[in-house]
């Protein structure tokens, strides 16, 4: 099991955009560790979301780190703008990153944490050669594109293998999971080795989003 504290990253994809700053304030009061921002281009994934303007807006209303998940083709086109807008980390999909090593180092050059994401069907081996270069490894636990999907249970074994791969590379990268993370799925991910948990629907559709963040962290056996 992971020794560190579980980090909760609410995904604003499921927030009420008419009251975005209130939603982020609720995440802060609940003890969120990061704010997860899902950028989708309608090409890498079928859905279309937001870009620089929203990152800038969120940056203005919180001091929490902004964990930006790029579900886009040619992600490098956005690195400079997103870094300037206030992203703390940029996570790119290996399926859309043929020059992954160069792209990760460009993200670092811009002062951001460099992350690589894997779709459920993408083998872990695709990041094996850069495991020691990562600041974050994101194992998707749904097929990306939408909030509110069901957790894919077979990803637990992949999380376990991802943790072992990072340890073998002596990497201190965060191991993040994203998709269908809720009260009934988070503990098994934590036990498998994940330490950073994206939660959209589970937080923002909760009766009380503020206390839900602590509820989720509490399922990892860590007091809030
Ligand atoms: C899905 C996104 C997720 C999404 C998760 O493609 O990457 O970050 O917001 O939503 P939930 O937690 O509702 O599955
Ligand atoms: Zn995401």
- Rounded Cα distance between 86 and 21, Å, is 16
User: Which tokens sit at 202?
Assistant: 């589970």
38 noted as active-site residue: yes
Find out whether the beta carbon of 13 lies less than 6 Å from any atom of ligand 1.
yes
The answer to whether the predicted template modeling score (pTM) of the entire model surpasses 0.95 is: yes
pLDDT of residue 31: 98
Find out whether the beta carbon of 69 lies less than 6 Å from any atom of ligand 1.
yes
Cβ pair 149, 180 in contact under 8 A: yes
Return the H-helix or E-strand segment holding 164.
helix 155-168
Strand duo 89-93 + 35-40: pairing = unpaired
157 noted as active-site residue: no
How much distance in Å is there from the Cα of 120 to the middle of ligand 2? 13
- Rounded Cα distance between 81 and 52, Å, is 6
pLDDT of residue 4: 74
- For the CA of 69, the nearest atom of ligand 1: 7
pLDDT lower than 70: segments of the chain? 1-3, 222-224
pLDDT of residue 2: 64
pLDDT of residue 223: 43
How much distance in Å is there from the Cα of 105 to the middle of ligand 1? 26
> DSSP assignment of 105-164, as one string?
HHHHHTT-EEEEEE-TTS-GGGGGGGGGG-SEEEEESS-TT-SSPPP-TTHHHHHHHHHH
- Rounded Cα distance between 82 and 205, Å, is 28
**If you take atom 4 of ligand 1, which residue's CA is the nearest one?**
147
Find out whether the beta carbon of 68 lies less than 6 Å from any atom of ligand 1.
no
pLDDT of residue 3: 61
């Amino acid at each position: 099991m992971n020794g560190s504290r579980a980090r909760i990253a609410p995904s604003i994809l499921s927030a009420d955009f008419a009251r975005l700053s209130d939603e982020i304030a609720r995440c802060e009061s609940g003890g969120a560790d990061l704010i997860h921002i899902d950028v989708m281009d309608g090409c890498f994934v079928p859905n279309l979301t937001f870009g620089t303007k929203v990152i800038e807006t969120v940056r203005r209303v919180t001091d929490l780190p902004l964990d930006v998940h790029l579900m886009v083709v040619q992600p490098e086109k956005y690195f400079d703008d997103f870094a300037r807008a206030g992203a703390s980390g940029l996570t790119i999909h290996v399926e859309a990153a043929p020059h992954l090593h160069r792209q990760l180092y460009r993200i670092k050059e811009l002062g951001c944490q460099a992350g690589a994401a894997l779709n459920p069907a993408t083998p872990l081996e695709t990041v094996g050669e850069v495991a020691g270069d990562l600041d974050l490894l994101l194992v998707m636990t749904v097929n990306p594109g939408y909030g509110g999907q069901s957790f894919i249970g077979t990803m637990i074994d992949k999380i376990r293998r991802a943790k072992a791969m990072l340890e073998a590379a002596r990497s201190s990268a965060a191991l993040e999971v994203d998709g269908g993370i809720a009260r009934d799925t988070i503990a098994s991910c934590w036990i498998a080795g994940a330490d950073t948990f994206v939660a959209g629907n589970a937080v923002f559709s909760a009766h009380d989003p503020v206390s839900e963040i602590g509820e989720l962290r509490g399922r990892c056996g860590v007091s809030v």
